[in-house]
């Protein structure tokens, strides 16, 4: 072992240090959220373990749940009809807990391509798609996809023909959205599990389409 002491100003590696979470400023709102959490625990409204479990549960959600719904919708037109009316109720049929915030499914067709954004903050159907990607919450995505959707989609490698309408859904209020992507050509013989494996998170946000096989 060398007798070097590595202080912050004596970083021996050729790359910058990864910032610690605490390096970001601790804002008033963060202080408030911590204070409210502590009060709720002190007053026995819920326990610290309840809080941890809920965070763990939300973190356990993944796009696989949305993908299962898409695969069922592709193979069962009646289910698709119910899903387009009420995603949360349709999810229950597959034993998926989509939560209580109403989720609307918007269907891609040969005439219209849907893409979702929350321009005001970062609303996202977490209960069906898991945690949002960082870019979804970025100011660049939120401000640009609403005013130049075709350019943003092209940056994601998704070219939408001018013959197709692009439809940007802004989740400004009490709904969350998921896109029902089009079923790719060449998938006719596949079963539901295999189909679910084709469905990506980005295709359910609408920044991507599922390529024909």
Partner 1 sequence: MSARFAVGDNVRVREAYPPGHIRTPHFIRGKAGVVSAVIGTFANPEELAYGRPGTPKQTLYWVTFPQTGLWPDYAGPEHDTAVVDVFEHWLVGEQQ
Which residues of this chain interact with partner 1, rule CB under 8 A?
Answer: 102, 119-120, 146-151, 162, 165-175
Minimum CB–partner distance for residue 101 and partner 1 (Å): 11
Cα distances (Å, whole numbers) of residue 120 to 69, 124, 138: 28, 12, 11
Minimum CB–partner distance for residue 100 and partner 1 (Å): 13
105 is catalytic: no
57-80 burial by CB neighbour count: b if 16+ within 10 A, else e? eeeebebebbbbbbbbbbeeeebb
3-state secondary structure 12-43: CCCCCCCCCHHHCCCCHHHHHHHHHHHHHHHC
Complex with partner 1: residue 76 or 170, whichever CB lies closer: 170
Q: 166 with 160: CB under 8 angstroms? A: yes
Question: Could you say which of 60, 105, 121, 187 is catalytic?
Answer: 121
Complex with partner 1: residue 51 or 120, whichever CB lies closer: 120
Question: Could you say which of 105, 123, 171, 203 is catalytic?
Answer: 123
171 is catalytic: no
- Bridging pattern class, strands 176-180 and 165-170: unpaired
Complex with partner 1: residue 78 or 162, whichever CB lies closer: 162
**What 3-state class would DSSP assign to 137?**
helix
Which DSSP symbol is given to 9? Answer: G
118 is catalytic: yes
Minimum CB–partner distance for residue 128 and partner 1 (Å): 18
Question: Could you say which of 2, 60, 62, 118 is catalytic?
Answer: 118
How many beta carbons lie within 10 A of that of residue 149, not counting itself?
Answer: 20
Minimum CB–partner distance for residue 188 and partner 1 (Å): 30
123 is catalytic: yes
Complex with partner 1: residue 74 or 177, whichever CB lies closer: 177
> From CA 209, how far away is CA 201, in angstroms rounded?
10
Active site residues: 118, 121-123
């Amino acid at each position: 072992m060398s007798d070097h002491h590595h202080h912050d100003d004596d970083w021996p590696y050729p790359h910058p240090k990864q910032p610690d979470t605490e390096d970001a400023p601790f804002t008033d709102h963060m202080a408030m959220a911590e204070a409210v959490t502590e009060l709720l625990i002190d007053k026995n409204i819920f326990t610290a373990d309840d809080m941890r479990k809920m965070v763990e549960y939300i973190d356990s959600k993944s796009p696989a749940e949305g993908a299962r719904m898409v695969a069922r919708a592709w193979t069962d037109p009646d289910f698709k009809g119910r899903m387009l009316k009420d995603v949360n109720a349709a999810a229950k049929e597959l034993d998926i807990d989509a939560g209580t915030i109403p989720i609307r499914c918007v269907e891609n067709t040969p005439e219209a391509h849907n893409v979702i954004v929350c321009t005001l903050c970062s609303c996202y159907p977490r209960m069906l798609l898991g945690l949002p990607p960082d870019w979804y919450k970025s100011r660049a995505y939120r401000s640009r996809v609403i005013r130049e959707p075709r350019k943003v989609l092209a940056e994601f490698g998704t070219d939408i023909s001018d013959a197709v309408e692009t439809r940007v859904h802004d989740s400004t209020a009490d709904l969350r959205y998921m896109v029902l992507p089009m079923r790719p050509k060449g998938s006719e013989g596949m079963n539901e599990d295999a189909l679910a494996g084709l469905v990506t998170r980005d295709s359910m946000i609408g920044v991507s389409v599922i390529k024909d096989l």
